């Protein structure tokens, strides 16, 4: 109920924060970002938002990343765009303390940039 902003459990598939973002000027410019492995209910809805979480997997070799980017670019434009967005997100998130609270908050600031809009 807290995340949906409703008076009863499970009445809506969207969250109060996504509905609030929808009312802001430039709502389609990426005004929401969750630092989580999943998108919480409060950010789900009609307005596009992002989510990012540090990976627990080892960093792949640059050659592997380049080959995947080339493969997706040749075969699947949708996957290529998602892969490029993920690479930009990982590049933005790098910094001291990555994976810890302070590092995550610094990553959030880099994702949003000085304008407060999502940079991905």
pLDDT for residue 105: 74
User: Looking at residues 44-59, what average pLDDT do you find?
Assistant: 82
More confident residue, 49 or 94: 49
pLDDT the model gives residue 78? 92
Check pLDDT > 70 for residue 48: yes
pLDDT value at 95 more than 60 = no
pLDDT at 111 exceeding the cut of 60: yes
- Residue 8 tokens read as 């009863």
Q: What is the pTM of this model?
A: 0.56
> Confidence band (pLDDT; 50, 70, 90) for 71?
very high
Q: What is the pLDDT of residue 29?
A: 66
- Label each residue of the chain as H, E or C: CCCCCCCCCCCCCCCHHHHHHHCCCCHHHCCCEEECCCCCHHHCCCCCCEEECCCCCCCCCHHHHHHHHHHHHHHCHHHHHHHHHHHHHHHHHCCCCCCCHHHHHHHHHHHHCCCCCCCC
Q: Where are the domains of the chain?
A: 1-53, 54-112
């Amino acid at each position: 109920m807290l995340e949906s902003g409703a008076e009863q459990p499970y009445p809506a598939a969207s969250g109060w924060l996504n509905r609030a973002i929808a009312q802001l000027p430039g709502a389609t410019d990426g005004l929401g970002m969750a630092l989580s492995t999943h998108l919480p209910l409060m950010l789900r809805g009609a307005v596009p938002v992002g989510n990012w979480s540090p990976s627990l997997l080892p960093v792949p070799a640059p050659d592997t990343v380049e080959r995947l980017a080339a493969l997706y670019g040749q075969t699947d434009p949708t996957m290529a765009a998602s892969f490029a967005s993920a690479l930009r997100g990982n590049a933005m998130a790098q910094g001291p303390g990555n994976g810890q609270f302070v590092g995550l908050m610094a990553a959030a600031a880099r994702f949003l940039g000085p304008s407060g809009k999502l940079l991905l």
